[in-house]
Every structure is written in structure tokens, then in C-alpha cells.
Amino acid sequence: MTEKQHITIKGVKEGLVFLLDDKCEFSQLLDELHYKLDTSHQQLLTGPLVHVHVKLGQRQASEEQKEQIVNTIRKRGNLLVQSVEAEPAVGEAAAKDELKMLTGIIRSGQTIEHTGHLLLMGDLNPGGTLLCTGDIYVLGSLRGMAHAGIGGRTDVIIAASQLKPTQLRIADVISRPPDEWITGDTLMEFAFLQDGQMKIDKLSGLFRIRRDPIVFKGV
């Protein structure tokens, strides 16, 4: 093996950790695994029973591929595969900011939980719950309980065509309309946090707290 090594074997307290490269071809990885197990690391891999943890890095391996890896390692009688894990992919981290569209009515007693931003095409009825790590947008009436930023994000908003909630929560801040705030008109409004307090504003005022660069064409 003259080229770059794709497999690193580390000894830890629990046993051995196989760190597999996540960029190379899967077949290449498998070949190298065979090679290492059968020839180069003989002395290391014989002896008493050893627990093995396989770390795939960011590789999105299929169940079948995982199976292949496990079988290869298992050929050595003394190696016991405990886990095959992949790190959460970059794509998943990006999904946190992705907008999901959902059509339907969330009725009393129903709960929707979502990671990322959520656009609900329909109503959220009293007694219904909407939990979201990101923003919540409701194209319809928001009459139930909406909680944006359940992971603790404070820069998120809750917007609705008609904002008449039983309760709103953003991160740890809980607000109870109409005791705490009431606006005459409930159409096209959004809730946001400012200095740790929940505020309500017309949707047209959203550009004041977050503004996307818009490139205007023409004159």
C-alpha cells in the first residue's frame, strides 16, 4: 500500500475503532479492509476477543454496504463488531434551514414536530400543537399553540395569515395572547423575539429584522 491509507485502526478503552475514509470509492475501502485484516495487521488482529466500532465518517452507506463491512471484519473470529456509525452528514445540517411544506389541518390533540422551517398550508386549530426548530409560517389561521425554535434558536419567527394563537413560544419565551398583547387586526402578522421579549408586528415589517439581498433587474 503505497497510496494514501483509507483505514485507520485505533485502540481505545472499549476495543478497536476503525476509522474509514469517507471520500474514496466503497470498493476500494473494502479491498483495503480485506488487505489489512488478512495481511498487514495480522499480529494486532489475532488473540483475545476484541470489540470493534466502525466509524464511517460522512459516508452515506447503505444497509447492504454496512453489512459487507461487518461481514468482512467478522471473518476474523476474534473481532466482534459493536457498532457501525456515520456522522450526521453536512446535508442534514443544511436540512435544518430547509423549508418543509405541509398541507392539512392540525386539529385539537394533534402534534406536529419538525426539524427546520415549516410552512403549513392550512389551519392550526385550538388544542393543536406545532413544534419546530426553525421558523413557522402558517398560510391559514393559527389558533392553537405554536413553538418555534424548540432547540433554543431565538432568531426565528412565527408568521400567520391570521394570528390568533392560544399560546406562542419562541425558544424559552412563552407568550399568552390576548393577556399580553392584542392587536386590532390579526391578519398577516408575525411574532419574534426582541430583547428576550415576544413582539408582534405586521408581516410587512419583517424586513426590519431580517433582510435578504434582492437584486433588482431593469431600471
Partner 1 sequence: MGEAIVVTSGKGGVGKTTTSANLGTALALHGKKVCMVDTDIGLRNLDVVMGLENRIIYDLIDVAEGRCRLNQALVKDKRFDELYMLPAAQTKDKHDVSPEQVRDMVLELKKDYDFVIIDCPAGIEQGFRNAVAGADRAIVVTTPENAAVRDADRIIGLLEQSHIPALLVINRIRQSMVKSGEMLDIDEICQVLAIDLLGIVPDDEKVIKAANSGEPTVMDPSSRAAIAYRNIARRILGDKVPLMQLDDKAGMLQRFRKFLGIG
Residue 116 lies near partner 1 (rule: CB under 8 A):
no
In angstroms, the CA 138 to CA 188 distance is 10
Scanning residues 140 to 179, which ones bind partner 1 (CB under 8 A)?
141, 143
Residue 125 lies near partner 1 (rule: CB under 8 A):
yes
Residue 184 lies near partner 1 (rule: CB under 8 A):
no
Residue 110 lies near partner 1 (rule: CB under 8 A):
yes
Q: Which of 17, 41, 126, 203 binds partner 1 (CB under 8 A)?
A: 126
Only segment of 9-17, 42-50, 122-130, 178-186 that touches partner 1 (CB under 8 A): 122-130
Nearer to partner 1 by Cβ, of 58 and 108: the residue is: 108
Q: Which of 89, 105, 188, 209 binds partner 1 (CB under 8 A)?
A: 105
Edge-to-edge order in the sheet of strand 99-103: 99-103, 117-121, 136-142, 158-163, 187-194, 197-202
Nearer to partner 1 by Cβ, of 115 and 166: the residue is: 166
Q: If we measure between CA atoms, which residue out of 161, 166, 160, 162 comes closest to residue 144?
A: 166
Query: Do residues 211 and 174 make contact, with C-beta atoms less than 8 angstroms apart?
Result: no
Residue 127 lies near partner 1 (rule: CB under 8 A):
yes
Edge-to-edge order in the sheet of strand 7-12: 7-12, 15-20, 50-55, 79-85
Q: Which of 107, 176, 202, 210 binds partner 1 (CB under 8 A)?
A: 107
Residue 74 lies near partner 1 (rule: CB under 8 A):
no
Site of interaction with partner 1 (CB under 8 A): 105, 107-110, 123, 125-127, 141, 143
